Structure 1
């Protein structure tokens, strides 16, 4: 309502006949305040509609109490979970979040850094585009602590936390082999980033350890819409088209490991159109464990990513950097993903897929 004055700590203090300092300590959860006094202060703050003045607080503390978060694609379910966990963890420590989206563009990344600098953020959590590190060096040069998330830039020497994607690719492939697959194909997005390269490395390691050959064409790139506009959601269409071409091969794989669960949707449709069943004719393993994955028919075996744990660790690392006390934690932390076993890899009596298709 026009003319309404913003309520202050002094209003609460005068009503309860307390000092402003006591009211402030009660609302911020500081020690030395009795339970009864704390309850009275909070009740009065709620009654009058008191809202903390974050600008005044930042002036007192010498900090904006704002963390920057820069990611590539918020429509990616993994990053959506990360945003949620980071925001909750930061809020619990009294920080707000300033979000920037790069869409895999170095130009957008540069603009995000300019915005962070203008906003005087206390620190920053970043999923880098991996097209250079000059933007992030600027933050370090002016004393803004930065933690890298999921994609590393080793030359910077910044703290890093992310999924162990190499282990994820290894576990997915090893599981397919344990279920009887001899030939395995990988469908992966066509972006030159370490997360994809690491998953493929895990696939190759598992195949080598099992003595399985990796013929040319075993890793198939899916040309997704992210090459044009990375902020759009993943679409199954590109994986569907690539899968249709793969299914024209004379020799089909026993299993396919896909780089994300959306690709599994496209593969499922292509297999159904070719009269092939999962897992009888071809096993499918996803990556991500998105909300729909357990509701596919059959439910999808997939690699679950530790989004919440990574987000929490990233905030804790950043706050330790901001406090300037250092950290006993390793400079680089990789968090293991979890293989979620479902019916898309149920062990069956396996005959080469090409033979099964011809027998129909």
Structure 2
């Protein structure tokens, strides 16, 4: 504990603390082992990157954090349930042909081309029984190829252009500079994974679904992913402030989405072969679906743990390399200074030296 000359009696004990180790092996063993007979009394985990630390949240008890997680889960569930209300309204619009007597629907008919846009951009499907899911899914997917081709083209041409221009952030930066003056802080920060990954996952799902049903969509998707690659390589290198690497922490999610897309594609093929009166082909696709599920389980057992824990073997090898290069003490001091609270840093402490440089050099 760093108290900078204060009396120990004046310090407030917090329910969380950072512990620095001289070796990666010791850190990995401490983070991955149970420290107390009661696991709720003393829990250990790998520390986040220094820029992600919210120092005010260290005072929150662990039990309260658990209640907050439960609250977020409940709120997300309630939001999902009540989202059925706008979905029902959209489905009503999709059934436009049956609602022409309704005054808003009659008003839509007065605008040239609007009714065709509404009915063409809002796909619809219904399920009367769970056993009809493959056939209904195959029928609905086959009939909506034009919609998804239009969606990919629209999202690719407009989304990537807006990503490069960043009009919203430019306007916000201009307003902030007008009222608060210009600052040297950038207004583009880390890559918005929360916004990019869902769109990429949806495109993967669309591509998997239509790879066999509507191959005409595949060239459009190839152009879409090529443009996305060019745009985000430029944004990562020249626009966003990439301070540290995530170590591939998002890859398990992408892997999960890819397998969901493959499974949905195979279920769709089972239903499509059934609609084409090809029972032999439909039955032959079932073992392929089972093999996909088994391979997904194998990948989760074989590769998924490596994304959450550091193998002791790799930690020892890295420690031996740092000791050979004479970087052991330097890395330890860097980690200690990086996880000092703002109130305990000396006045001449350089924020840039510890917050814009990685904790461990890759060279």
TM-score over 0.5 (shorter chain): no
Structure number with higher strand proportion: 1
Q: Which has the higher contact order (CA 8 A, sep 6+)?
A: 2
TM-score (norm 2): 0.26
Structure number with higher helix proportion: 2
- Larger Rg, first or second structure (1 or 2): 2
